[in-house]
Amino acid sequence: MRKVFFTLIFINLIAFTVFAQNIGIYEWRDHLPYNKGLAIAEVGNEIFCATPFSLFSVDKTYNSLNRLNKVKGLSDVGINAIEYNAELKTLVVAYSNTNLDLVIDGRIFNISDIKRKPILGNKTINRICLVDNYAYLACGFGIVVVDIKKREIKDTYYIGPEGELINVLDITHDGTYLYAATEKGIFKAEFSNPFLSFYGSWTKMNSLPLPNAKYNAIRYFNGRLITNQANPLYNDDLMYISSNDQTTWSRFDENQTNNCYALNVSQGKLLISNEGSVDVRNADFSRQYLIYAPSQLSVNPSNAIIDSKSGAVWIADRKRGMLSVTNTGWTGTQYTPNGPYSANVFYMDMKGEKLWVAAGGRNGTWLSLYMTDGLYSYSDNTWTSFNRTNHPAFDSIVDIVCTVVDPTNHNKAYAGSWGKGLLEFTGNTLTNVYNKSNSSLEGFVPGPTNVMVSGLAFDSDNNLWVCNSGAASSFSKRAPNGEWTSYNLGGSASGQELGRMIVDTYGQKWALMRQDHSLLV
């Protein structure tokens, strides 16, 4: 994450030098992805959505978007959960590294005690449960209680057998008992017990069909407990509902086996965030409606709430940022601040006011990572992303590892794929894909179907030079008139695995070699 963060700062520095008229002196601008919504909360007249790197909000009156991130005052990146305490007017922001922020009327107060404390095991915060003035944090090692009003840690509960550390995935309460859904079953304890930090105060709910299974979500709703048993296979989850006395459990919905990501109680309704849908249930547990394709938008929910005023359902969506859904699930509006598709950066090139970012990669042994984030361009203060979510051609193109902008025409750019050849863009349109069939590029010697383009550079005559890693002909040249020529250097230089390349002022081509970390000139 540190590498990603500093890379994004580097993007900022580049943007500053080119678009200085839009950034004040000594100011920073963030360029972060906002499409992966993880958590959601209503804060007065705003709906806040958490993404891994920041928060953004929608002002319901003006329908405007606002951003809050580390550049603008948050203490960290890697947000996992948010919840809002309306009485204390405090938004609790929990990070994956156990850091914690309290956002109060625009001011940010950091509580870093858990982050700084040496704790063995899984040190993360999964969910937040608010009870009166306290935030109960479901952590990878147990439960941490935060006094929101005093802005301090109140207590820590290690609830596993014999006090062992246990991954707590969600927490709920019914006013009498506190319930913790964990990787090893569900545990409960009385609120009034003054010794909740003692593991003996917690008992496992052995009445469940599989008391030792992994339960990733739990809610108390209308006198019953609802929980989800998270199974390792895709769309193989089982949801259960308890009897009023919690002595027996039954399947909540025999037809429901999709992955369940969250359970939430909002405005007297139970909201179930499943793979591909949000299930809205009434107080008697009957279905009010199912949200699965509002305005033809696919739904990928992490969590959902109901607007306290309009009754709209707001969804933190893993691919679309945030959705507002009305008309009993049929009308949807997407809210996603403009930004790159992801935070992955492998290589960048910029000329004039056009920046291109390659978001692929390869592993330490130079094998493909099969990363599908594609590449992004930035100009006129707008990011445009190219990947399989919006360009069918990228269904088979992975690991974009290099890119270059034409120095004589900044509206034209090229990108190299670690396996699928060379891509040509005019403006923001993919115009050509070059491979063995339509260029001088060659396949990787051990696997000739893969065309590995590892480096790109222009010479002073505006010829595009392509580093063709692992091919018998290590370099190819595309002339301005579109004519291709390959260059086989022969001997030990043939078939070498090559990385990035440059062309110097003398026209010499320099390429990194995997072998002995040497240079090929």
What residues contact residue 140 under an 8 Å CB cut-off, 6+ apart? 121, 122, 123, 124, 125, 126, 165, 167, 168
Flag the least confident range among 18-32, 298-312, 330-344, 438-452: 18-32
Using CA atoms, how far apart are residues 495 and 449, in angstroms rounded to an integer? 14
AA identity, residue 135: A
Using CA atoms, how far apart are residues 287 and 269, in angstroms rounded to an integer? 10
Better-scored residue on pLDDT, 491 or 476: 476
Q: To which residue do tokens 């695995």 refer?
A: 497
Tell whether the model's pLDDT for residue 1 goes beyond 50. Answer: no
Closest CA to 435 of 476, 402, 481, 395: 476
Tell whether the model's pLDDT for residue 4 goes beyond 60. Answer: no
Cβ atoms of 371 and 417 within 8 Å: the answer is no
- 246-262, pLDDT tens digit by residue? 999 999 998 889 999 99
Query: Residue 17: which pLDDT band, with cuts at 50, 70 and 90?
Result: very low
- Residue 68 has a pLDDT of 96
Cβ atoms of 151 and 111 within 8 Å: the answer is yes
Better-scored residue on pLDDT, 493 or 2: 493
- 104-141, pLDDT tens digit by residue? 999 999 999 999 999 888 999 999 999 999 999 999 99
Whether the model clears a pTM of 0.85, i.e. scores above it, the answer is yes
Using CA atoms, how far apart are residues 521 and 517, in angstroms rounded to an integer? 13
What residues contact residue 83 under an 8 Å CB cut-off, 6+ apart? 39, 41, 91, 92, 128, 129, 130, 135
Query: Residue 495: which pLDDT band, with cuts at 50, 70 and 90?
Result: confident
Using CA atoms, how far apart are residues 211 and 225, in angstroms rounded to an integer? 14
Mean pLDDT, residues 353-358 taken together: 96
What residues contact residue 57 under an 8 Å CB cut-off, 6+ apart? 43, 46, 47, 48, 49, 65, 66, 68
Using CA atoms, how far apart are residues 115 and 119, in angstroms rounded to an integer? 9
Tell whether the model's pLDDT for residue 360 goes beyond 50. Answer: yes
Mean pLDDT, residues 310-323 taken together: 98
- 27-43, pLDDT tens digit by residue? 888 899 999 999 999 99
Cβ atoms of 348 and 355 within 8 Å: the answer is yes
What fold, for 347-520?
Answer: Methylamine Dehydrogenase; Chain H (2.130.10)
Tell me the domain boundaries of the chain: 347-520
- 259-282, pLDDT tens digit by residue? 999 999 999 999 999 999 999 999
CA quadruple 281, 239, 304, 244: dihedral sign: positive
